[in-house]
Structure 1
């Protein structure tokens, strides 16, 4: 059995992250009856590694908890895993398109602004560069 610091060291995550995963129900340490310390098992270390891999793929802790719960009930979480990542890929594509559009607007605005003088705000205006922009 391992104490929280040992799990953190073996997995490369912070003690706070281990505590957070425990509060979220992703880890279920036992208690040492002599000192009430939480004790983690090798399975908990493996679970933290699974969490890290899933997070790297873009899964949220809520989704990871759902996947873990389904596996714990003896069912394959693979169909749900695919469903989640397919939706996430679509969301990411949309965000990338939105970011590319923002990037293009920024570059166009900057090019126009290079030839414009610095203006002093008049009345209720704040910055004439931004206020002069149209879509």
Structure 2
């Protein structure tokens, strides 16, 4: 005889997934987690499947999804829909943004490597204790071009 998995209180679920109870309540407000029923004493009781759902949300956040995006996707799924094509489209867009960001970072890395090389040359040509004006040289050097891009995450609203 198998035992029915038990529900989680807020604190138990939060500890199990490594987030705060405030985050759980925030997920509820946004619709990422369904509203949890309450005990007679007012404690939230999350169903056992909430553990996997919050873990999925956490992983998706690391991939650049936003909570509103996840709320929309999960609402579709909860209503019996199949948001898979939408998720794939979003993943493709996020991958493209990530690839652009990596290219930008590689360009910045090459720029910084040249600045370090130039700085070493300046230091080697100066006397001990003599200023090499490295900070000033940073002002005159052209900064690497930045790719205009969508941020990987949205900025917090005020």
**How much is the aligned-residue C-alpha RMSD, in angstroms?**
2.2
Q: Which residue of 1 aligns with 2:65?
A: 59
Q: Which residue of 2 aligns with 1:49?
A: 55
1:23 aligns with one of 29, 43, 47: 29
Q: Aligned equivalents of 2:111 and 2:62: distance in 1? A: 30
* Secondary structure of 1:6's aligned partner: helix
For structure 2, the residue ranges without an aligned partner over 5 or more in a row are 1-6, 144-158
* Secondary structure of 1:30's aligned partner: coil
What's the TM-score, normalizing by structure 1?
0.81
How far off is 1:65 after superposition? 1.0
Q: Which residue of 1 aligns with 2:140?
A: 132
Structure with greater contact order relative to length (CA < 8 Å, sep ≥ 6)? 2
Q: Which residue of 2 aligns with 1:87?
A: 93
Q: Aligned equivalents of 1:131 and 1:52: distance in 2? A: 40
Q: How many residues align?
A: 129
Q: Which residue of 2 aligns with 1:115?
A: 121
What's the TM-score, normalizing by structure 2?
0.70
For structure 1, the residue ranges without an aligned partner over 5 or more in a row are 121-126
Q: Aligned equivalents of 1:25 and 1:109: distance in 2? A: 48
How far off is 1:119 after superposition? 5.0
How far off is 1:37 after superposition? 2.0
